[in-house]
Amino acid sequence: MTNEELQQLIMKISENVFNKPFVHDAYFNARLITTGGRYMLQTHHIQINPKSLECYGMEELEGIIRHELCHYHLHIEGKGYKHRDRDFRELLKMTNSPRFCANLESTKKKRRRIQHVYGCISCGQLYRRKIRINTTKYRCGKCSGQLSKLEL
């Protein structure tokens, strides 16, 4: 789906569900990591995470659009547009919009494994590192002994 198609979809949903026009810009933003969409207060633009469409399909995308349009229309009208406001929660219920989007796979933290283990030849102190170090340049912090890479 292109940005132009997204713009048309949002304009159509705004007219059909809210009976109000959407007159600002809407586009995909791949830099959104933890959220499905974002409404910009200053510019009134709506940004959508393209991964939400890829991972969960058109139904999830339309839910995110309805949610962001709730922010949009309430903010334009000068009503409570924040998640905690009563106006916002009531409009979510009236338009059958989701309060939260589905968790994106990219939000799950990937645990980095320790790849390199070094040991002091003199005292046996162990050092776990993510990045390889030069054993001729560095010494043991405990006894100043020579370090050697240990195989796992």
Q: Does one domain contain both 8 and 68? A: yes
Q: What are phi and psi of 78, to 5 degrees?
A: 80, 20
DSSP category for residue 146: B
Q: Does one domain contain both 133 and 67? A: no
Instruction: Provide the whole-model pTM.
Output: 0.69
Convert the pLDDT of each residue in 17-70 to its tens digit. 999 999 999 999 999 888 889 999 999 999 999 998 888 889 999 999 999 999
The 3-state DSSP class for residue 148 equals strand
Q: Does one domain contain both 73 and 16? A: yes
| Number of separate domains in the chain | 2
Please indicate whether residue 68 is annotated as part of the active site. Answer: yes
CATH number where 102 lies: 3.30.2010.10
Which stretch of 45-54, 108-117, 127-136 has the lowest confidence by average pLDDT?
Answer: 108-117
Q: What are phi and psi of 13, to 5 degrees?
A: -65, -40
Range of the domain at 18: 3-107
- Catalytic residue, chosen from 68, 77, 90, 151, is 68
